Amino acid sequence: MHNEHIEEHFGNRNVVEMNSDYYMVAIEDYPKDGWEKFKRVVRRAFRGELFVGLWVVMREMIRFDIHTVQYPMEKMPIGPRYRAVHEMKRLWESDTERCIGCGLCEKICISNCIRIDTKIDENSRKEVSEYSINLGRCIFCGYCAEVCPELAITHGGEYENASDQREHFLTFQDMLTPLDTMKAGTQREFEGFGAITPHEDERVKKTPLAY
């Protein structure tokens, strides 16, 4: 429906045809001599356009339809794909970290703001030992979220990341979804790059594990 309208709009570009969407704007001829100039001045002076402008602003004042968002108290909703400060997601099945320490995000990061270090833990599994993102360097391009094979690092909606210095680091634990959130089942999936199917989280079954 929507696409049809767009196609129709862009398909009909013939300016000359009478039935096209395009039409010539009516511009009055420029005055050729002094008398015509004078007539234009008189016409413009007495046409009352100044009062139209006055009425428009007065109408808006009376209507009092204020559009201000009082920012710290009120916030605009942002899109689900908004690329703000990163988050580290957990698995729905077992509540463990999704990150497998592959290091692709560090490799692809074009502003070199991600540093990752891994080690082999006591169970002989690869474990992330150090992980940091320098938000002062990050340009929020989204490559790290796009390249992540496990949908572990994603962007979140937290855009209030002003800091008192340029180097403003986030560590793995800062970004990781808290366990409380997982237990409440309220981890929000990122809908941007390579996201899983919508409502996939409702279909997965929990692994029977006791913490």
Partner 1 sequence: MEMAYFIETIIKIVVILLIFSALAGIGTYFERKVLAFMQRRLGPVNVGPFGLLQVAADGIKLFTKEDIVPTNVVGRIFKIAPVITAATAFMAAAAIPFLPSFTLFGYEVHPIVADINIGILYILGIMGVGLYGPLLGGMASANKFSLLSAARGAAVFISYEVITGLSILAPIMMVGSLSLIDFNEYQSGGITSWIVWSQPVAFILFWIAAFAETGRTPFHLIANDHEIIDGFGTEYSGMRWGLFFIGEYANMFFISFVISILFLGGYGDGSFLGALGLLGKVAFFFFFFLWTRAAWPDVRPDQLMWLCWKVLMPIAVINIVITGIVMM
Contact residues toward partner 1 (CB under 8 A) are 41, 50, 53-54, 56-58, 60-61, 64-68, 70
Query: From the centroid of its chain, how far is CA 183?
Result: 28
Q: Smaller CB distance to partner 1: residue 36 or 93?
A: 36
Q: Smaller CB distance to partner 1: residue 18 or 57?
A: 57
Residues in the chain: 211
Residue 118 Cβ, how far from partner 1 at the closest point, in Å? 49
In the three-class reduction of DSSP (H, G, I as helix; E, B as strand; rest coil), residue 156 is classed as: coil
Q: Smaller CB distance to partner 1: residue 66 or 110?
A: 66
Residue 61 Cβ, how far from partner 1 at the closest point, in Å? 4
Residue 48 Cβ, how far from partner 1 at the closest point, in Å? 13
Q: Report the 10 Å Cβ neighbour count for 47.
A: 10
Whether the Cβ atoms of residue 148 and residue 193 lie closer than 8 Å to each other: no
What's the CA gap between 92 and 189, in Å, rounded?
Answer: 10
Q: Smaller CB distance to partner 1: residue 19 or 68?
A: 68
What's the CA gap between 211 and 206, in Å, rounded?
Answer: 13
Residue 50 Cβ, how far from partner 1 at the closest point, in Å? 7
Joined together, the tokens standing for residue 17 give 């045809």
Place of tokens 């990122």: 190
Residue 62 Cβ, how far from partner 1 at the closest point, in Å? 9
Q: Smaller CB distance to partner 1: residue 72 or 79?
A: 72
Continuous segment of H or E residues that includes residue 42: helix 34-46
Q: Which residues contact 202 (CB under 8 A, 6 or more apart)?
A: none
DSSP 8-state code for residue 73: T
Residue 167 φ then ψ, to 5° = -80, 110
Residue 32 Cβ, how far from partner 1 at the closest point, in Å? 19
Q: Smaller CB distance to partner 1: residue 73 or 210?
A: 73
